A = this chain, B = another copy of it.
Amino acid sequence: MFTGNGKGKTSAALGGVVRALGHGLRVHIVYFMKGEYPYGEQPVLEKLENVSFERFGFTDFCDPDNVTEEEKEQAHRALSAARQAMSSGKYDLVVLDEVNVASSWQLIDVQDVVGMIKDKPDRVELILTGRGADPRVIELADLVTEMRKLKHPYDRGILSRKGFDF
Contact = CB atoms under 8 A, between A and B. Distances in A.
Interface stretch (A63-71, A78-86, A104-112, A157-165): A157-165
A163 B6 contact: no
A48 B41 contact: no
Contacts of A92: 163
Given A14-B18, A19-B164, 15 more contacts: A2-B8, A7-B143, A8-B16, A10-B15, A18-B45, A19-B39, A20-B40, A20-B164, A47-B48, A93-B164, A125-B164, A138-B150, A144-B152, A145-B149, A146-B148
14 contacts: A10-B15, A11-B11, A11-B13, A13-B15, A15-B18, A19-B39, A22-B42, A44-B48, A47-B48, A48-B48, A138-B150, A144-B151, A145-B148, A147-B148
Interface of A: 2-4, 6-16, 18-25, 39-45, 47-48, 92-93, 125, 138, 141-153, 156, 158, 161-164, 166
